[in-house]
Protein backbone atom coordinates (compact mmCIF):
# COMPACT_ATOMS: atom_id res chain seq x y z
CA UNK A 1 0.00 0.00 0.00
CA UNK A 2 2.78 2.31 0.96
CA UNK A 3 4.70 1.39 -2.14
CA UNK A 4 1.64 2.28 -4.17
CA UNK A 5 1.35 5.63 -2.45
CA UNK A 6 5.01 6.37 -3.03
CA UNK A 7 4.58 5.41 -6.64
CA UNK A 8 1.72 7.86 -6.94
CA UNK A 9 3.79 10.59 -5.35
CA UNK A 10 6.60 9.84 -7.79
CA UNK A 11 4.21 10.21 -10.73
CA UNK A 12 2.90 13.52 -9.45
CA UNK A 13 6.47 14.77 -8.98
CA UNK A 14 7.30 13.83 -12.55
CA UNK A 15 4.24 15.70 -13.78
CA UNK A 16 5.31 18.74 -11.78
CA UNK A 17 8.79 18.58 -13.23
CA UNK A 18 7.40 18.34 -16.75
CA UNK A 19 5.16 21.33 -16.21
CA UNK A 20 7.82 23.45 -14.54
CA UNK A 21 10.46 22.76 -17.17
CA UNK A 22 7.96 23.49 -19.91
CA UNK A 23 7.23 26.97 -18.61
CA UNK A 24 10.73 27.75 -17.35
CA UNK A 25 12.24 26.97 -20.69
CA UNK A 26 9.82 29.35 -22.37
CA UNK A 27 10.86 32.10 -20.00
CA UNK A 28 14.46 31.83 -21.11
CA UNK A 29 15.72 34.59 -23.39
CA UNK A 30 16.46 33.63 -26.99
CA UNK A 31 13.96 31.71 -29.08
CA UNK A 32 15.07 29.96 -32.27
CA UNK A 33 11.57 29.61 -33.67
CA UNK A 34 10.81 33.26 -33.16
CA UNK A 35 14.19 34.12 -34.65
CA UNK A 36 13.48 32.00 -37.71
CA UNK A 37 10.08 33.62 -38.09
CA UNK A 38 11.64 37.07 -37.91
CA UNK A 39 14.26 36.08 -40.48
CA UNK A 40 11.57 34.88 -42.87
CA UNK A 41 9.67 38.14 -42.43
CA UNK A 42 12.81 40.14 -43.11
CA UNK A 43 13.37 38.10 -46.25
CA UNK A 44 10.02 39.50 -47.43
CA UNK A 45 7.94 36.37 -46.89
CA UNK A 46 4.36 37.29 -46.05
CA UNK A 47 3.55 36.57 -42.43
CA UNK A 48 0.81 34.02 -43.20
CA UNK A 49 3.17 32.05 -45.41
CA UNK A 50 6.01 32.37 -42.87
CA UNK A 51 3.79 30.77 -40.22
CA UNK A 52 3.02 27.85 -42.50
CA UNK A 53 6.71 27.40 -43.27
CA UNK A 54 7.60 27.48 -39.59
CA UNK A 55 4.91 24.91 -38.91
CA UNK A 56 6.26 22.60 -41.58
CA UNK A 57 9.80 23.05 -40.26
CA UNK A 58 9.20 22.86 -36.53
CA UNK A 59 5.74 21.46 -36.08
CA UNK A 60 4.68 24.46 -33.98
CA UNK A 61 2.70 27.60 -34.55
CA UNK A 62 4.75 30.45 -33.06
CA UNK A 63 1.68 32.51 -32.31
CA UNK A 64 -0.07 29.69 -30.48
CA UNK A 65 -0.79 30.50 -26.85
CA UNK A 66 1.55 28.89 -24.32
CA UNK A 67 -1.31 27.11 -22.61
CA UNK A 68 -2.38 25.45 -25.83
CA UNK A 69 1.22 24.49 -26.49
CA UNK A 70 1.45 23.03 -23.01
CA UNK A 71 -1.71 20.99 -23.41
CA UNK A 72 -0.55 19.73 -26.77
CA UNK A 73 2.85 18.86 -25.33
CA UNK A 74 1.32 16.92 -22.46
CA UNK A 75 -1.00 15.12 -24.82
CA UNK A 76 1.90 14.04 -26.99
CA UNK A 77 4.01 13.10 -24.02
CA UNK A 78 1.31 10.77 -22.75
CA UNK A 79 1.59 8.99 -26.07
CA UNK A 80 5.35 8.65 -25.73
CA UNK A 81 5.93 11.43 -28.20
CA UNK A 82 8.60 13.84 -26.95
CA UNK A 83 8.31 16.03 -30.04
CA UNK A 84 10.94 16.74 -32.63
CA UNK A 85 14.16 18.68 -32.37
CA UNK A 86 14.05 22.21 -33.70
CA UNK A 87 17.80 22.31 -34.33
CA UNK A 88 18.24 18.95 -36.04
CA UNK A 89 15.12 19.57 -38.00
CA UNK A 90 12.63 16.78 -38.01
CA UNK A 91 14.56 14.39 -35.79
CA UNK A 92 12.35 13.03 -33.02
CA UNK A 93 13.58 13.76 -29.50
CA UNK A 94 13.15 10.29 -28.05
CA UNK A 95 15.76 8.54 -30.20
CA UNK A 96 18.19 11.40 -29.54
CA UNK A 97 17.79 10.86 -25.80
CA UNK A 98 17.87 7.09 -26.07
CA UNK A 99 21.12 7.32 -27.98
CA UNK A 100 22.69 9.53 -25.31
CA UNK A 101 21.39 7.77 -22.17
CA UNK A 102 23.48 4.57 -22.33
CA UNK A 103 26.76 6.48 -22.19
CA UNK A 104 25.70 8.43 -19.15
CA UNK A 105 24.32 5.31 -17.51
CA UNK A 106 27.56 3.48 -18.21
CA UNK A 107 29.81 6.16 -16.78
CA UNK A 108 27.65 7.01 -13.79
CA UNK A 109 26.98 3.46 -12.68
CA UNK A 110 30.57 2.33 -13.01
CA UNK A 111 32.02 5.54 -11.56
CA UNK A 112 29.63 5.53 -8.66
CA UNK A 113 30.11 1.86 -7.86
CA UNK A 114 33.87 2.12 -7.90
CA UNK A 115 33.91 5.24 -5.77
CA UNK A 116 31.43 3.70 -3.36
CA UNK A 117 33.54 0.61 -2.80
CA UNK A 118 36.76 2.58 -2.50
CA UNK A 119 35.03 4.84 0.02
CA UNK A 120 33.64 1.87 1.93
CA UNK A 121 37.03 0.21 2.14
CA UNK A 122 38.86 3.37 3.19
CA UNK A 123 36.13 4.45 5.61
CA UNK A 124 36.15 1.11 7.43
CA UNK A 125 39.95 1.03 7.52
CA UNK A 126 40.08 4.56 8.90
CA UNK A 127 37.52 3.73 11.56
CA UNK A 128 39.50 0.64 12.54
CA UNK A 129 42.73 2.61 12.75
CA UNK A 130 41.40 5.58 14.56
CA UNK A 131 43.96 8.29 15.49
CA UNK A 132 46.86 6.77 13.61
CA UNK A 133 48.84 8.39 10.82
CA UNK A 134 46.67 6.42 8.38
CA UNK A 135 43.52 8.01 9.78
CA UNK A 136 45.03 11.49 9.69
CA UNK A 137 46.35 11.17 6.17
CA UNK A 138 43.33 9.48 4.61
CA UNK A 139 40.76 11.66 6.36
CA UNK A 140 42.56 14.74 5.12
CA UNK A 141 42.79 13.39 1.59
CA UNK A 142 39.14 12.40 1.61
CA UNK A 143 38.09 15.88 2.75
CA UNK A 144 40.23 17.49 0.07
CA UNK A 145 38.84 15.32 -2.70
CA UNK A 146 35.38 15.76 -1.27
CA UNK A 147 35.84 19.49 -1.79
CA UNK A 148 37.18 19.48 -5.34
CA UNK A 149 34.40 19.68 -7.93
CA UNK A 150 34.60 16.92 -10.50
CA UNK A 151 34.91 19.19 -13.50
CA UNK A 152 38.20 20.43 -12.10
CA UNK A 153 39.43 16.90 -11.53
CA UNK A 154 38.20 16.07 -15.02
CA UNK A 155 40.00 19.00 -16.55
CA UNK A 156 43.25 18.21 -14.76
CA UNK A 157 43.04 14.56 -15.81
CA UNK A 158 42.28 15.51 -19.37
CA UNK A 159 45.18 17.89 -19.59
CA UNK A 160 47.66 15.65 -17.84
CA UNK A 161 46.84 12.29 -19.40
CA UNK A 162 45.94 13.31 -22.93
CA UNK A 163 47.83 16.50 -23.63
CA UNK A 164 50.98 15.93 -21.59
CA UNK A 165 51.33 12.17 -21.30
CA UNK A 166 49.23 11.26 -24.32
CA UNK A 167 48.17 8.01 -22.64
CA UNK A 168 44.48 8.32 -23.34
CA UNK A 169 42.43 9.51 -26.31
CA UNK A 170 40.87 12.91 -26.27
CA UNK A 171 37.12 13.32 -26.46
CA UNK A 172 34.26 11.09 -27.55
CA UNK A 173 33.41 7.75 -26.04
CA UNK A 174 34.67 5.48 -28.83
CA UNK A 175 36.84 5.71 -31.87
CA UNK A 176 34.50 6.91 -34.69
CA UNK A 177 36.48 4.79 -37.15
CA UNK A 178 35.13 1.65 -35.48
CA UNK A 179 31.63 0.55 -36.38
CA UNK A 180 29.46 0.50 -33.20
CA UNK A 181 28.32 -2.97 -32.23
CA UNK A 182 29.13 -5.77 -29.85
CA UNK A 183 32.49 -6.39 -31.37
CA UNK A 184 35.67 -6.73 -29.34
CA UNK A 185 37.19 -3.68 -31.00
CA UNK A 186 34.24 -1.48 -30.18
CA UNK A 187 33.95 -2.56 -26.56
CA UNK A 188 37.68 -2.11 -26.11
CA UNK A 189 37.51 1.33 -27.63
CA UNK A 190 34.66 2.34 -25.31
CA UNK A 191 36.56 1.00 -22.31
CA UNK A 192 39.68 2.89 -23.34
CA UNK A 193 37.76 6.12 -23.80
CA UNK A 194 35.88 5.69 -20.49
CA UNK A 195 38.91 5.41 -18.25
CA UNK A 196 39.49 9.12 -17.75
CA UNK A 197 35.89 10.24 -17.29
CA UNK A 198 35.24 7.38 -14.86
CA UNK A 199 38.43 8.24 -13.00
CA UNK A 200 37.21 11.83 -12.79
CA UNK A 201 33.93 10.63 -11.26
CA UNK A 202 35.68 8.37 -8.82
CA UNK A 203 38.03 11.09 -7.64
CA UNK A 204 35.16 13.49 -7.26
CA UNK A 205 33.01 11.08 -5.29
CA UNK A 206 35.13 8.68 -3.24
CA UNK A 207 35.99 11.30 -0.63
CA UNK A 208 32.34 11.75 0.25
CA UNK A 209 31.81 8.02 0.59
CA UNK A 210 34.95 7.65 2.66
CA UNK A 211 33.83 10.30 5.11
CA UNK A 212 30.32 8.96 5.45
CA UNK A 213 31.53 5.38 5.83
CA UNK A 214 34.02 6.49 8.43
CA UNK A 215 31.40 8.14 10.58
CA UNK A 216 28.97 5.27 10.16
CA UNK A 217 31.63 2.68 11.01
CA UNK A 218 32.78 4.63 14.03
CA UNK A 219 29.24 4.75 15.31
CA UNK A 220 29.00 0.98 14.87
CA UNK A 221 32.33 0.41 16.59
CA UNK A 222 31.12 2.49 19.51
CA UNK A 223 28.01 0.36 19.85
CA UNK A 224 28.08 -2.29 22.50
CA UNK A 225 27.16 -5.09 20.14
CA UNK A 226 30.62 -4.83 18.60
CA UNK A 227 31.97 -5.52 22.06
CA UNK A 228 29.46 -8.33 22.43
CA UNK A 229 30.93 -9.98 19.31
CA UNK A 230 34.38 -9.77 20.81
CA UNK A 231 33.45 -11.16 24.15
CA UNK A 232 31.77 -14.15 22.57
CA UNK A 233 35.06 -14.89 20.87
CA UNK A 234 33.91 -14.39 17.29
CA UNK A 235 36.75 -14.12 14.80
CA UNK A 236 37.90 -10.78 13.50
CA UNK A 237 36.47 -11.71 10.08
CA UNK A 238 33.02 -12.19 11.58
CA UNK A 239 33.36 -8.95 13.49
CA UNK A 240 34.46 -7.16 10.34
CA UNK A 241 31.51 -8.58 8.44
CA UNK A 242 29.13 -7.22 11.06
CA UNK A 243 30.92 -3.89 11.03
CA UNK A 244 30.65 -3.54 7.27
CA UNK A 245 27.06 -4.74 7.17
CA UNK A 246 25.94 -2.30 9.84
CA UNK A 247 27.93 0.59 8.38
CA UNK A 248 26.63 0.12 4.85
CA UNK A 249 23.00 0.42 5.84
CA UNK A 250 22.95 4.17 6.48
CA UNK A 251 24.87 4.69 3.22
CA UNK A 252 22.50 2.73 1.05
CA UNK A 253 19.93 5.48 0.58
CA UNK A 254 22.63 7.96 -0.33
CA UNK A 255 24.05 5.52 -2.84
CA UNK A 256 20.80 4.98 -4.70
CA UNK A 257 19.98 8.68 -4.59
CA UNK A 258 23.40 9.49 -6.00
CA UNK A 259 22.69 7.22 -8.92
CA UNK A 260 19.84 9.53 -9.82
CA UNK A 261 21.57 12.78 -9.00
CA UNK A 262 24.76 11.91 -10.83
CA UNK A 263 22.90 11.76 -14.13
CA UNK A 264 22.75 15.50 -13.82
CA UNK A 265 26.25 15.77 -12.39
CA UNK A 266 27.39 14.19 -15.61
CA UNK A 267 27.01 17.54 -17.38
CA UNK A 268 30.43 18.85 -16.48
CA UNK A 269 32.35 15.68 -16.97
CA UNK A 270 30.63 14.85 -20.24
CA UNK A 271 31.34 18.34 -21.50
CA UNK A 272 34.98 18.17 -20.46
CA UNK A 273 35.49 14.84 -22.20
CA UNK A 274 33.00 15.51 -25.03
CA UNK A 275 31.05 12.37 -24.29
CA UNK A 276 27.75 12.27 -26.18
CA UNK A 277 25.70 11.49 -23.07
CA UNK A 278 22.73 13.17 -21.44
CA UNK A 279 24.81 15.84 -19.77
CA UNK A 280 26.34 16.79 -23.05
CA UNK A 281 22.87 16.89 -24.56
CA UNK A 282 21.72 19.24 -21.81
CA UNK A 283 24.61 21.58 -22.54
CA UNK A 284 24.23 21.62 -26.31
CA UNK A 285 20.46 21.78 -26.44
CA UNK A 286 20.40 24.61 -23.91
CA UNK A 287 22.99 26.56 -25.85
CA UNK A 288 20.91 26.15 -29.00
CA UNK A 289 17.54 26.63 -27.30
CA UNK A 290 16.35 23.33 -28.69
CA UNK A 291 13.18 23.34 -26.56
CA UNK A 292 11.86 19.86 -27.23
CA UNK A 293 15.25 18.24 -26.62
CA UNK A 294 15.84 20.32 -23.50
CA UNK A 295 12.45 19.37 -22.19
CA UNK A 296 13.05 15.74 -22.92
CA UNK A 297 16.45 15.66 -21.24
CA UNK A 298 15.35 17.59 -18.18
CA UNK A 299 12.46 15.22 -17.86
CA UNK A 300 14.81 12.24 -17.99
CA UNK A 301 17.25 13.79 -15.49
CA UNK A 302 14.54 14.72 -13.03
CA UNK A 303 12.86 11.40 -13.63
CA UNK A 304 16.10 9.64 -12.72
CA UNK A 305 16.23 11.44 -9.37
CA UNK A 306 12.57 10.73 -8.65
CA UNK A 307 12.87 7.08 -9.62
CA UNK A 308 16.05 6.74 -7.55
CA UNK A 309 14.25 8.27 -4.59
CA UNK A 310 11.39 5.85 -5.03
CA UNK A 311 13.78 2.90 -5.30
CA UNK A 312 15.79 4.03 -2.28
CA UNK A 313 12.67 4.26 -0.14
CA UNK A 314 11.26 0.99 -1.33
CA UNK A 315 14.46 -1.02 -1.19
CA UNK A 316 15.72 0.37 2.10
CA UNK A 317 12.86 -1.09 4.03
CA UNK A 318 13.83 -4.45 2.57
CA UNK A 319 17.45 -4.40 3.60
CA UNK A 320 17.09 -2.79 7.02
CA UNK A 321 14.81 -4.73 9.33
CA UNK A 322 14.33 -1.67 11.53
CA UNK A 323 12.28 0.00 8.81
CA UNK A 324 9.03 -1.80 8.24
CA UNK A 325 6.55 -0.18 5.95
Partner 1 sequence: MLACNDVVKQFAIRRTWGSRQVTVVNRVSVSVEASHVLCIVGESGCGKTTLGKVLAGLLAPTLGSVTVDGTLLYHPGNKAWEREALKIQLIHQDPFSTLNPVHTVREELSLPLLHHQIVPKSLVGEECEHLLTRTGLDPKVVIDKYPHELSGGQRQRVVLARALSVRPRYIVADEAVSMVDVSSRLIMLDLFLEIAQKERIGLVFITHDFGLARYVALEGTIAVMYLGRVVEFGGTETVIHQPRHPYTKVLLSSIPPLQAGDDFKIDKVYPRSFDVPSLELLPPGCVFEPRCPYAFDRCQSALPVLSTVVHEPGHQVACYLEDEETAVV
The residues of the shown chain that bind partner 1, judged by CB under 8 A, are 223-225, 227-235, 238, 242, 245-246, 249, 320-322
Measured CA to CA, the distance from residue 13 to residue 59 in angstroms comes to 28
- Which residue, 175 or 226, is less far from partner 1 as judged by CB? 226
Least distance to partner 1, CB of residue 227, Å: 6
Least distance to partner 1, CB of residue 225, Å: 4
Least distance to partner 1, CB of residue 266, Å: 34
Least distance to partner 1, CB of residue 224, Å: 4
Least distance to partner 1, CB of residue 318, Å: 12
- Which residue, 36 or 218, is less far from partner 1 as judged by CB? 218
Least distance to partner 1, CB of residue 146, Å: 24
Amino acid sequence: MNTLRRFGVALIMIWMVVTLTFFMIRLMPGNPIFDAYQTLLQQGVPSQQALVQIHILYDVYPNQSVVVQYLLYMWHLLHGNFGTSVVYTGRPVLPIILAAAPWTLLLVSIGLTISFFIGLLLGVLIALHRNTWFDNLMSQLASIFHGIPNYITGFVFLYFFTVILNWFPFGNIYNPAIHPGFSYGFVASVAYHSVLPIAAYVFGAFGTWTLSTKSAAMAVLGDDFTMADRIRGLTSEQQLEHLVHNSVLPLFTGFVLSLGIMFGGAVFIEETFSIPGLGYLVATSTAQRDYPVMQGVFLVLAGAVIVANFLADTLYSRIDPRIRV
